[in-house]
Chains A and B, each alone.
Chain A
C-alpha cells in the first residue's frame, strides 16, 4: 500500500483535493465540510513536502498519466522549481484552512459553507495542477479550474458586500481574456511543433528556429499570463477582487494565485522558449523591465492613498509582483534567484498581512483604516502581527523582504544597472509610508468612543503568527530558501537553450 502511494505521489498531489472537492459538497453544512477540507489541505501539504524532499536531491521526477509515455501522454514533471512552488501553495492552503473556520462563519451563511469549501479545494487543485504538470495544454486546463473557482470564491464575498459580484465579474472577463490569449499562444506553438509537452516543445522550437508564428505565440502567451499575474497595466481586476473577496480567500489567492502565474511565466520563458536570445532578451529588457519598475512605483503610490486596508494591501501586491518581474527581466542567475525567493517571501508576508486584515474585519466589522484608530490597544496581538508583516513588506533586515531586495539589488549591481538598484530602494520608501499610515492609526490615534473590538480568536491568530514567524525565521536564516531558489534557477537555466549573460 505504501509502495502504491509513493509511486503515485505526483498524481495524488492533484487527485486528493480533486476527489475531496465533490465529497466536501456532499457533507452538508457547517463544520463537517470545514474539518474535511482542512484534513485534505494538511494531506496535500504532506505530499508536497515529500515531493520537495525527493526533487531537492537532483533528478526531476516524471509521472505518466494513464500510462501514456510523453510526449504523447500528459506528463507530470517535478523539479526543484515546481516542487518549491507546490510547497508554497499547499503550505499556505494548510495554514488558511484552520484560519478560515471563524472568518468564513462570520462572512458566509451556514448552508453555503460546504460549497465554499468545495470551491476552495477546486482552486487548490487547479493551482497545484498548473504547477506540477509538464504539459502546456494541461497548464491551460488547470489554470481554468483554478480561475473559475476563484471567480466563485470572490463572488461569495457578496454576503458582506454586494460589490463583490461586480469585482468577480470584472475578474471573470479579464481572466477569461487572459486564458484565451494563453491558449491561442499554445495553439500557435502546437501549429509549429505538433507537440504540447514542454520539454519536447523546447527541443522542437530550438530545431525550428525563429519565425513570425513563434513570435506571435510568444507574445500571446506573455500577455495571457501577464493578465493572470496582474502585470502592471493589466492589473485592473486585482484590487477589487482582493478587497471584496472573503478574508480567507484573499489571503489564500494573494499568497498563491499570482505566484503560480509567475511560475508559469518562468517556465514558458525559460524552459519552453529557448529559441531566440535576441527577441526574448529585447522583450524582457524593453517591455518587462520598464513595466516592472512602473508597477513598483505607481502601485505603491496608489496604495498610499487607499482608505481600505485590504485594498491598500492589494495595490501593494501589484508593486511586489513588479519586484518578481524585475528579477526575471535581469536575465541573470542572481535575478532569477531573486524572483524565485521572492515567490516564497511575498507569499509568507502577504498571506500574514491579509490574515491580519481578516482579523480586523471579523472584530471591527470593517477594514477601513480610518475606523481602525486605536485598534493597537484593543487587539494587541493582531496589530503586532501587522507591524511585523509590514516590516517585511518594507524590506527591513532580519525579515524575508530584506532577503528578496538584497538579491534584487545584487542582481542589478552585477549588471552595472545602478539606477535600477536605487529605484528598488526608493520604492521601499513608499512601502514605509503606507505601512506607517496603518501603524499610526492603530497605535497613535485615540480609539473612537463606544466601539468594542475584541482580540481575534486564536484559530485566526495562530496561522497569522506562524506566517509572521516564518517571515522572520527565513529572514534570519535564509539558507534553505535561497539554496532551493538557486538550484531552481540552475534547472531553469540548464533547461533553456538561450545564451546566458555571465
Chain B
C-alpha cells in the first residue's frame, strides 16, 4: 500500500476522529443513544481500517491477539464483577442502587461501568475476529476430508 498516498493520508486523518467518536458514544450511552456495543464496534473499526491500509502485522504490534483475548475476558469480568459487587453490598445481582450515595447516582455509575465492560469486550472480540480471518491458515487439503 506504499504507493496509495491518498488512502494513507485519508485513513490517518480519519482514525483519530473515529476513536474520538467511539469514546463519545461510549460515555454518553447512559443518557443518549449509544452504549458499549456500538462504541466497541466503532472503536474496533479504527484499528481495522489501520490494519487494512498498513497491514495486519503493524496492527498486531500494538494489539497482539493474546492481549485482545485477555481484554475480551476482562470486559466480561468488569460486567459480571459489577454484579458481584452489588450482591456484596446487599442488593440483587446488578442492582445498581447501592453503588453510590443515592439510587439515581448508583444507577448512572452502574450502567457506565457495565457499558465500559461491554465496550472493551466487543472491541477486542471484533479485532480478534478480524485478525483470525486476516491471518487464517491455508485451506484444508482435499485428502484430509
Candidates A67, A163, A165; contact of B92 at CB < 8 Å: A67
B145 to chain A, nearest CB (A): 6
B9 to chain A, nearest CB (A): 39
CB-CB under 8 A from A15, the residues of chain B are 80, 83-84, 93
B134 on the A face (CB < 8 A): no
CB-CB under 8 A from B87, the residues of chain A are 4, 8, 11
Which of A8, A18, A26 has its CB near the most chain B CB atoms (within 10 A)? Answer: A8
Candidates B77, B93, B140, B145; contact of A8 at CB < 8 Å: B93
Alpha-carbon distance A65/B87, docked complex (angstroms): 11
CB-CB under 8 A from A25, the residues of chain B are 69-70, 73
0 or 1 for each of A7-28: is its CB under 8 Å from B? (1 = yes): 0100100010011011101100
Alpha-carbon distance A19/B76, docked complex (angstroms): 7
Stretch binding the partner chain, chosen from B46-54, B56-64, B94-102: B94-102
Residues 57-91 of B contacting A (Cβ, < 8 Å): 69-70, 72-74, 76-77, 80-81, 83-84, 87-88, 90-91
Q: Tell whether, in the assembled complex, residue B84 and residue A63 are in contact, meaning their CB atoms are under 8 Å apart.
A: no
Q: Tell whether, in the assembled complex, residue B92 and residue A18 are in contact, meaning their CB atoms are under 8 Å apart.
A: no
Once A19-B81, A19-B84 are accepted as A-B contacts, the answer to whether A26 and B95 lie under 8 Å apart by CB is no
Q: Tell whether, in the assembled complex, residue B93 and residue A66 are in contact, meaning their CB atoms are under 8 Å apart.
A: yes
Q: Tell whether, in the assembled complex, residue A4 and residue B140 are in contact, meaning their CB atoms are under 8 Å apart.
A: no
Chain B interface residue bracket vs A: 20 to 34
0 or 1 for each of B96-111: is its CB under 8 Å from A? (1 = yes): 1100000000000000
Candidates B88, B93, B145; contact of A65 at CB < 8 Å: B93
A208 on the B face (CB < 8 A): no
Alpha-carbon distance A11/B83, docked complex (angstroms): 10
21 contacts between A and B (CB under 8 A): A4-B87, A4-B88, A8-B93, A19-B77, A19-B81, A19-B84, A21-B76, A22-B73, A23-B73, A25-B69, A25-B70, A65-B92, A66-B92, A66-B93, A66-B95, A66-B96, A67-B92, A67-B96, A67-B97, A162-B140, A162-B145
Count A-side interface residues using an 8 Å CB cutoff: 19
Alpha-carbon distance A262/B95, docked complex (angstroms): 32
Q: Tell whether, in the assembled complex, residue B91 and residue A67 are in contact, meaning their CB atoms are under 8 Å apart.
A: yes
Interface contacts beyond A8-B92, A66-B93: sample of 20 additional A-B pairs, CB < 8 Å, sorted by A:
A4-B88, A8-B93, A11-B83, A15-B84, A18-B76, A18-B80, A19-B76, A19-B77, A19-B84, A22-B76, A22-B77, A25-B70, A25-B73, A26-B73, A65-B94, A66-B94, A67-B96, A162-B140, A162-B145, A165-B140
0 or 1 for each of A44-73: is its CB under 8 Å from B? (1 = yes): 000000000000000000011111000000
When C-beta atoms are compared, the residue in chain B nearest to A19 turns out to be B80
Q: Tell whether, in the assembled complex, residue B90 and residue A22 are in contact, meaning their CB atoms are under 8 Å apart.
A: no
Binding site for A on B (CB under 8 A): 69-70, 72-74, 76-77, 80-81, 83-84, 87-88, 90-97, 140, 144-145
Alpha-carbon distance A19/B77, docked complex (angstroms): 6
CB-CB under 8 A from A8, the residues of chain B are 87, 92-93
Alpha-carbon distance A25/B69, docked complex (angstroms): 8
Candidates A11, A18, A26; contact of B70 at CB < 8 Å: A26
CB-CB under 8 A from B81, the residues of chain A are 19
Alpha-carbon distance A4/B87, docked complex (angstroms): 7
Where chain A touches its partner, the secondary structure class is: helix
When C-beta atoms are compared, the residue in chain A nearest to B72 turns out to be A22
CB-CB under 8 A from A165, the residues of chain B are 140
CB-CB under 8 A from A22, the residues of chain B are 72-74, 76-77
Alpha-carbon distance A24/B88, docked complex (angstroms): 23
CB-CB under 8 A from B84, the residues of chain A are 15, 19
B96 to chain A, nearest CB (A): 7
A326 to chain B, nearest CB (A): 38
Q: Tell whether, in the assembled complex, residue B76 and residue A67 are in contact, meaning their CB atoms are under 8 Å apart.
A: no
When C-beta atoms are compared, the residue in chain A nearest to B92 turns out to be A67
Alpha-carbon distance A65/B82, docked complex (angstroms): 13
B125 to chain A, nearest CB (A): 12
B61 to chain A, nearest CB (A): 22
A158 to chain B, nearest CB (A): 9
CB-CB under 8 A from B93, the residues of chain A are 8, 11, 15, 65-66
A3 to chain B, nearest CB (A): 9
CB-CB under 8 A from A63, the residues of chain B are 92
When C-beta atoms are compared, the residue in chain A nearest to B97 turns out to be A67
Q: Tell whether, in the assembled complex, residue A67 and residue B95 are in contact, meaning their CB atoms are under 8 Å apart.
A: yes
CB-CB under 8 A from B144, the residues of chain A are 162
Alpha-carbon distance A230/B107, docked complex (angstroms): 43
Q: Tell whether, in the assembled complex, residue A4 and residue B90 are in contact, meaning their CB atoms are under 8 Å apart.
A: yes
Alpha-carbon distance A15/B92, docked complex (angstroms): 12
Alpha-carbon distance A21/B77, docked complex (angstroms): 9
Alpha-carbon distance A162/B140, docked complex (angstroms): 9
CB-CB under 8 A from B92, the residues of chain A are 8, 11, 63-67
Alpha-carbon distance A8/B92, docked complex (angstroms): 7
Alpha-carbon distance A165/B87, docked complex (angstroms): 41
Which of A15, A25, A66 has its CB near the most chain B CB atoms (within 10 A)? Answer: A66
Alpha-carbon distance A18/B93, docked complex (angstroms): 13
When C-beta atoms are compared, the residue in chain B nearest to A11 turns out to be B93
CB-CB under 8 A from A18, the residues of chain B are 76, 80
CB-CB under 8 A from A67, the residues of chain B are 91-92, 94-97
A165 to chain B, nearest CB (A): 8
Q: Tell whether, in the assembled complex, residue B95 and residue A163 are in contact, meaning their CB atoms are under 8 Å apart.
A: no
A28 to chain B, nearest CB (A): 10
B12 to chain A, nearest CB (A): 34
Alpha-carbon distance A238/B69, docked complex (angstroms): 30
